[in-house]
Amino acid sequence: MNANEAVQSLQLKSIPLFADFNETDCRQIADVASVVTFDAEKLILKQGQVSRDLWIVLEGVCEVSRSLDTAMPDPKRIVLATLESPSHFGDMSFFHPDSHSADVRAVGNVTLLKISYGDYKELVNDGVKAAYKIAYNVTVAMARRLRHMDDWIAEMVADAAGPVHDTNTSGLLRPEWTSFREKVFDRWNL
């Protein structure tokens, strides 16, 4: 079975990222996607390196972790997420050419669906609707993640010791929160 047949046999519509795809959309994605396997503990994405691939977990579990200080020989790592089917990752670097913000490692043996940016860009240049549907669905997923992060940050600040007041309401704001907020909302128009 070639890669295209393997992708088609997955019934892409069962994956949330492709849920609103019709048969034509699925065939167009199957033409550019490939199925890739990684053995347990294999590094898929490395923090600080650049690649432009969108990955969807088909089978297995991946761990997303971030090094606090990459300059150290054995840096402390923080696990950010555990991804199972049908999660996707690599979306930030896929749509914005920058280095990866975290490592992604196979916890056990994993099977992933891979869409390279070059192939995706060709779909966009050809005006293929499936490419735009992927962009829309990834945007929806990223918005959902940001909402969860907003909730988490609000809970973290509310649970912190001592009063926290917004400087706009004539109260004091702890320096850590001020610094964090400046980093997160740098150049945002809120």
In a domain, 188, yes or no: no
User: Is residue 117 in some structural domain?
Assistant: yes
Residue 35: domain span:
3-159
In a domain, 167, yes or no: no
Residues 6+ apart with CB under 8 A from 30: 4, 7, 8, 12
Q: How many domains does the chain have?
A: 1
Per-residue pLDDT in tens (0 to 9) along the chain, 190 residues: 445 565 665 678 889 899 889 989 998 999 999 999 999 999 999 999 999 999 999 999 999 999 887 677 777 888 999 999 999 999 989 999 898 999 999 999 999 999 999 999 999 999 999 999 999 999 999 888 888 888 877 777 776 645 545 544 444 456 666 676 676 666 555 4
- Residue with tokens 């992060």, as numbered in its chain: 149
* Domain-embedded: residue 48: yes
CATH of the domain at 34: 2.60.120.10
Residue 170 has a pLDDT of 40
Contact at 8 Å (CB) between 91 and 133? no
pLDDT score, position 104: 97
Q: How many CB atoms lie within 10 A of CB 82?
A: 12
Among candidates 162, 133, 142, which has minimal Cα distance to 13?
A: 133
**78 strand-pairing partners:** 66
Across the beta sheet with 33-38, the strand order is 33-38, 110-116, 53-59, 88-89
Cα separation, 163 vs 179, whole angstroms: 17
Question: Which residue do the tokens 């347990």 mark?
Answer: 40
Q: How far apart are CA 143 and CA 140, in angstroms?
A: 5
* pLDDT at residue number 146: 85
Structural domain contains residue 190: no
pLDDT confidence of residue 181: 67
pLDDT of residue 169: 44
Residue 177 lies in a domain: no
